[in-house]
A and B are shown apart, each in its own frame.
Chain A
């Protein structure tokens, strides 16, 4: 059983009277542990596809299975619970909570799924922050962190609950090349260490280099899908 299966996924947005087809029939299978990038021109449907996979939205047509469970027709509430327990997100603009420290921003995600002991939570949060190279910065607020550091907090937040799947929509778009490379390297490392499946979208060829699988989107359809390395 594959981690993720998409069959004939279509998404049509209704803009007034005009129908905008954002995805026009996507078939895709992603195995556990893959490290894939989705690329393609602006407006090709990358964000839309990631949102479907991430259970943030449901397709107009087609079927999505996560761990073999059909998620494409779940209720809002069931979708939320699926996200809560199975999926991690990294956003282009970090979306950290400004009044919380780096530690608390990460803690926030684990508190949603884990009500076990204080000690265990603390241990896990500190460990994941160390893994993404933020040891010593735990008590900084987002406004005291660089873009690269912020995005690393966001990665830690996505990973702390050890989800099977982490989705990242242009995670490096706000970063300079050095920081962008660092952030992707961390994702690669976590992919290796934890076996977490990553799917990220990007425009940046340098960042793409790190992926093992390249999914090319064009006009809402997959035009190429190759594995490397």
Chain B
């Protein structure tokens, strides 16, 4: 088809203008791909941090506890027995379970006091579900029964504590009476999760249970599965087992604890939509401008084409092919730039301290650095998006050009 050939050849005309349009499109695409990668990276990192340090893949608790879990109540605790343990055993895909008791405490170092979350754990089981242990920077994790605590490095610095120092946890028992737990700092952790670093005191489960006077009660049982993505069937299995035994305990996905992040991601999606709209407008203006200027410069040529009997749609096609070419080249350049930017973000990441650090202020559990993620579908999407913008925004100006009266076009009247 000659119109197509001519449209492609026309790409070599007005090189400077075409190049500028291509660059503008490429830059807009780059911004989109880069942002998309960083957003994706932030989301993934947040999710990983939540799963690896906060919730495991699945949490099991009484619904009444679950509803009030933010307040760390000592009501509606799970009292482990054979029935409960059997219900969450032998489930396909389940790797480990860890009982934990969460409670409100004030940490006292002899001088200052600060509100913290106490976390009673069975170290061995805890380490099977969470990765916190890998981030131990000093000392070691306690054994059951030892009067030792593990705290985050941030908290240690804040309270001026080091290994071997003693702390007192002030707590209220189930019966609302005051009690204390005296502990030696046995280990320090420095994890990528800000909450673990700054606000949690790990203590042996039995010591916490005794001090809180809850017998063998735990707040919840957290579960690690071998399938991160397909946890719904596992949750269903667990719930069925509980139902069979008439136990009113339920299993919950980690996603229910990631609502802030998910909401934040949704907000980011809205922002991405805005970015996309801006790109759309930039691309459209670039392409429309390109076609109009070309048509003006080639008025006489259009007149000649019409004199030779070229149909309007054939002339429209010439301009659309040219615009499409600009869109494709701009899109490819943008994807290449984007790949470079994303590659850099995936490899080197971005140090959050440049922008004031701690995302946990916004409820995003990320410290230090965020990394980009590869999202091939975004590249494919934006590439075709660009071509579609080019095609659609060129139709009107191309038609305007092709619809010119041949005599007026030929004689510039």
User: In the bound complex, do residue B304 and residue A111 qualify as a contact, i.e. CB atoms below 8 Å apart?
Assistant: no
Closest beta carbon of chain A to B400's beta carbon, Å = 15
CA distance A187 to B304 in the complex (A): 20
Closest beta carbon of chain B to A215's beta carbon, Å = 20
**Contact residues of B between 1 and 33, Cβ < 8 Å to A:** 2, 5-6, 9-10, 12-13
User: In the bound complex, do residue B12 and residue A97 qualify as a contact, i.e. CB atoms below 8 Å apart?
Assistant: no
**Contact residues of A between 24 and 62, Cβ < 8 Å to B:** 47, 51, 54, 56-57
Name the residue of chain B whose CB is nearest to the CB of A47. Answer: B411
Q: How large is the interface on B (under 10, 10 to 19, 20 to 34, 35 or more residues)?
A: 20 to 34
User: In the bound complex, do residue A112 and residue B309 qualify as a contact, i.e. CB atoms below 8 Å apart?
Assistant: yes
User: In the bound complex, do residue B411 and residue A84 qualify as a contact, i.e. CB atoms below 8 Å apart?
Assistant: no
Task: For the A-B complex with A56-B406, A97-B301, A112-B2 known, give 5 more contacts whose Cβ atoms are closer than 8 Å.
Answer: A54-B307, A56-B306, A95-B301, A95-B410, A112-B310
Most A CB atoms within 10 A — which of B300, B301, B304, B306?
Answer: B304
Interface string of A124-144 (1 = CB under 8 A from B): 000000000000000000000
CA distance A91 to B407 in the complex (A): 12
CA distance A111 to B10 in the complex (A): 18
CA distance A112 to B300 in the complex (A): 19
Residues of chain B at the chain A interface (Cβ within 8 Å): 2, 5-6, 9-10, 12-13, 300-301, 303-304, 306-312, 406-407, 410-411
Name the residue of chain A whose CB is nearest to the CB of B9. Answer: A99
Residues of B within 8 A of A82 (CB): 309
**Contact residues of A between 96 and 152, Cβ < 8 Å to B:** 97-100, 104, 107-109, 111-113
CA distance A99 to B410 in the complex (A): 19
Residues of chain A at the chain B interface (Cβ within 8 Å): 47, 51, 54, 56-57, 77, 80-85, 87, 89, 91, 93, 95, 97-100, 104, 107-109, 111-113, 157
Contact of A84 among B9, B301, B308 (CB under 8 A): B308
Residues of A within 8 A of B410 (CB): 56, 91, 95
Interface of B, secondary structure class, is helix
Name the residue of chain B whose CB is nearest to the CB of A98. Answer: B13
User: In the bound complex, do residue A95 and residue B10 qualify as a contact, i.e. CB atoms below 8 Å apart?
Assistant: no
Give how many A-B residue pairs fall within 8 Å (CB-CB). 61
User: In the bound complex, do residue B300 and residue A84 qualify as a contact, i.e. CB atoms below 8 Å apart?
Assistant: no
Residues of A within 8 A of B9 (CB): 99-100
User: In the bound complex, do residue A108 and residue B6 qualify as a contact, i.e. CB atoms below 8 Å apart?
Assistant: yes
Residues of A within 8 A of B306 (CB): 56, 80
Contact of B307 among A56, A100, A107 (CB under 8 A): A56
User: In the bound complex, do residue A80 and residue B304 qualify as a contact, i.e. CB atoms below 8 Å apart?
Assistant: no
CA distance A82 to B311 in the complex (A): 11
User: In the bound complex, do residue B309 and residue A56 qualify as a contact, i.e. CB atoms below 8 Å apart?
Assistant: no
Residues of A within 8 A of B12 (CB): 99
Name the residue of chain A whose CB is nearest to the CB of B10. Answer: A99
Q: A51-B407, A56-B406, A57-B407 are in contact. Are A97 and B308 (CB under 8 A)?
A: no
Closest beta carbon of chain A to B118's beta carbon, Å = 77
Most A CB atoms within 10 A — which of B12, B306, B307, B406?
Answer: B307
CA distance A47 to B410 in the complex (A): 11
CA distance A83 to B311 in the complex (A): 11
Most B CB atoms within 10 A — which of A54, A56, A85, A111?
Answer: A56
Can you list 6 residue pairs at the A/B interface with Cβ under 8 Å? A47-B411, A56-B407, A56-B410, A57-B407, A95-B301, A107-B2
Contact of B304 among A77, A87, A91, A104 (CB under 8 A): A91
Closest beta carbon of chain A to B199's beta carbon, Å = 68
User: In the bound complex, do residue A89 and residue B2 qualify as a contact, i.e. CB atoms below 8 Å apart?
Assistant: no
CA distance A99 to B7 in the complex (A): 10
Name the residue of chain A whose CB is nearest to the CB of B411. Answer: A47
Name the residue of chain B whose CB is nearest to the CB of A77. Answer: B311
Residues of A within 8 A of B13 (CB): 98-99
